[in-house]
Amino acid sequence: METKFLHPISVCIIAKNEEARIEKCLASLKPYGFEIIVVDTGSTDRTKEIASQYADKVLDYAWCDDFSAARNYSLQEASNNWIFMMDCDEWIKTINVEELNYFRKHHPDSVGAISRENLVTRDGQYVLNNTDHTERFFNRKLYHYTGIIHEQLTPIRGTDLPCLLLHTTIEHSGYDMTEEQRIAKGQRNLTLLHKQLEQEPENPYVYYQLGKGYEIVQDYASACEYYGKGLYFDVDPSLAYVQAMVVSYGNALLLTGQKEAALGFEQIYDTFAVNADFVYLMGRIYMANERYPQAIEQFYKATTYDTCKFNGANSFLAYYHIALICEKVGDNDNALAYYRECGDYPPAIEGIERLSRMTADPVKDTESPAAKPSAADAQFKKRIVLFGSDNYILQYIMEQYQRAFQNMGFDTFVFPDTTVQEEFNAATEKLLSFHTQGIDAVLTFNNYGYTMHTDKGECIWDLWNVPCFDLLFDHPMCYHDALDKSPVNGIAICEDRTHLKYIKRFCPTVRNAFFIPAGGEELHPGEPHTPVKERSIDVLFVGSFKYISDYIADRFDELLTEYSFRHINMPFEQAVEDCLRSIKSDVSDAEIRYMVARYRVSNINLASICRMKSIQALVDAGIRVTVYGGGWKDSPLYGHPLFDLRAEMIPFEDSLRLMEDSKIVLNQLTWFRDGCSERIFNAMLQGAVCLTDDSIYLREQFTDGEDLVFYSLQELNRLPQIVKDLLEDSDRMQRIADSGYRAAAAGHTWSHSAEELLRLL
């Protein structure tokens, strides 16, 4: 259907007496060119008046104690088949409209889920309480709502369709309410839920929502009853609500003093320990039963998960409980260290103050704990082999890991990268000698040493039964040959979660692969940074221009290049797959992998062009950019009066010194769509403002305009104004630089990366 809207998507909202919240919701939607429909179910305030200023349709609907009926009416009145559902107490934080349009064209039978950040007020400000994923984007011809309350999106034809997570995040304040509002809402929900239970007595989802309803009114005994009844059914443990019901049931058992009964969750551990929230719950259950070693093990394991639903379950809350246990058993040194792992969590700060008053040197800064108190650590041999590199960046990163391990008390041996046979033989003899006392792990960087073998062709890491971590700092498509020969004990480590997915799909010989983000180094720790306004370099860029000018492009290159520029945030392998499928319908994974490797020069050139255009946008706008890196003399920018190319190759420490004297450090990710680069953290740790294109991971870790500043490759015309606004406001730059430094120092150094590796061990 042809419509007047920029995008054939309708946003549907139901409302009643929402004058205090609906404007924020609608204002966040208005810029995106969607149809906006508001269905009012009986407001007596200014809700409809406010809605009419933003919405394309404001419709009345007689409330009948049925949320699904109201939502389905809004679907019926939409002009478009594709629906994005919102509530009045929600607003857009980030949205990728291009992805929505791609999704409806290429996944017409699927449902799009989004991330919802649930906020509560603390000290007068919104803070994150937890994050969940909720199905909000769908085709109304295939789906509608069922259930009179806590309604569910249900396939019309009765067949479950795929659900994919979109890169869209909304913020939600619906759980932020007064005690009176909370009780009133809880009682209303319970009335409707019991009515629904009469209609659907065999529906475990209704029992789950009843348990949640009783939690809202703080009747935890009744919550236990209904959670238990819901889990009595033959439920699918992979469903998100079932996993949430298990965790909520465990919490309710602890709140009602049933700690021994909660130990029964050991019987379902293998099924539900797929998320940090359950593992964190098990830590609390063991802690309540004074089984402290097991509790520490679970809390520590929770911190190895990338995400969690309840904010802090995989980070500061887990560390806080370890600290409590350490303090309880009299290990105050480790208690202090773990409290410091909790950041600005108020109870942890109280713990630091309490223990500091008990120590002889209360101002001494205890380092992050090198060895976590667990049974595994008591047996750890602390002997690591690392492989050097002739690439100065990889050599620098190796040295950072080595230093981190040495600071933890490990013995390390570095096998040098050498082409001289005598040096190689000498290094091999030293490796054999080092091995006689045991090796706990091997670290290789971009494959050098990963497939090290004997004269008989046997991989020595498998012969010695030693885990070998292969840290990959480029896309895995560059290393098919090495990854295809992966040791049995080989473990690939990626800096980007899309690279991790690539390995799991296209490199089946790699049995284990994990995501560990890059780290950074503060060049002069403990010394004050030069104030931003006193630094001599306005904008610094450190990086090479790698455009391969003599590459002869074929027709597929041209198609791929054009498509990639139109879908700039898409992983390269997805672009290759989409282009292949536009030519032929039947495409195998083997063919996709071959084409990704064959056309990786296109990827290099695309990244180089984006890097050049980012800098060109600035210099053409009159902003001087100081550049250190190779290849730029062959770029169109060379000779521009504001393109200040100083040197091609510089030692890594020199780049950190330059960042110490820079106001803004510009970064451009090389097609890292869900990861990061060490340049980002190095800039932040030297007290500069980091200006970078974003990724999913960076958006999860940092706040735009507070810890760093994001720009979009799709909107490079806005980049100069972003820089000018920063340079004209030194106080704002200083706030961002200070906040960025704290954020990077708290969790993004090479020591943190080394600790992540130890967790995998």
CATH of 380-516, one of 3.40.630, 3.40.50, 1.20.1250, 1.10.10: 3.40.50
As a whole number of angstroms, the distance between CA 514 and CA 723 comes to 36
Helix and strand totals (H; E) in the chain:
31, 22
CATH of 180-356, one of 3.40.630.10, 1.10.760.10, 1.25.40.10, 3.40.50.720: 1.25.40.10
Query: Comparing C-alpha atoms, which of 338, 382, 332 is closest to residue 359?
Result: 332
Contact yes or no for 138/100 (Cβ under 8 A):
no
Give φ, ψ of 397 to 5 degrees. -65, -40
Query: Comparing C-alpha atoms, which of 325, 404, 362 is closest to residue 752?
Result: 404
Give me the helix-helix angle, 600-619 and 589-598, nearest 10°: 50
Give φ, ψ of 600 to 5 degrees. -70, -20
pLDDT for 760: 80
- Helix residue ranges per DSSP H, 165-239: 179-199, 204-216, 220-232
Give φ, ψ of 310 to 5 degrees. -85, 120
Residue 475's contacts (CB-CB under 8 Å, 6 or more residues apart) are 496, 499, 502, 572, 600, 603, 671
As a whole number of angstroms, the distance between CA 658 and CA 395 comes to 20
Residue 9's contacts (CB-CB under 8 Å, 6 or more residues apart) are 34, 35, 80, 82, 83, 84, 100, 104
Give φ, ψ of 63 to 5 degrees. -65, 135
pLDDT for 15: 96
Q: To 5 degrees, how large is the angle CA 241–CA 243–CA 246?
A: 110
As a whole number of angstroms, the distance between CA 292 and CA 122 comes to 31
Please report, for the chain, the start and end positions of each structural domain, with discontinuous segments joined by +. 9-173, 180-356, 380-516, 532-557+599-753
pLDDT for 359: 61
pLDDT for 728: 96
The CATH superfamily assigned to 532-557+599-753 is Glycogen Phosphorylase B; (3.40.50.2000)
Q: Give the chain's residues under pLDDT 50.
A: 1-3, 360-381
Task: State both tokens at 392.
Answer: 């100065």
Fold of 9-173: Spore Coat Polysaccharide Biosynthesis Protein SpsA; Chain A (3.90.550)
As a whole number of angstroms, the distance between CA 311 and CA 340 comes to 17
As a whole number of angstroms, the distance between CA 39 and CA 58 comes to 6
Strand pairing report for 512-515 and 57-60 = unpaired
pTM: 0.54
As a whole number of angstroms, the distance between CA 491 and CA 443 comes to 10
CATH fold match for the domains 380-516 and 532-557+599-753:
yes
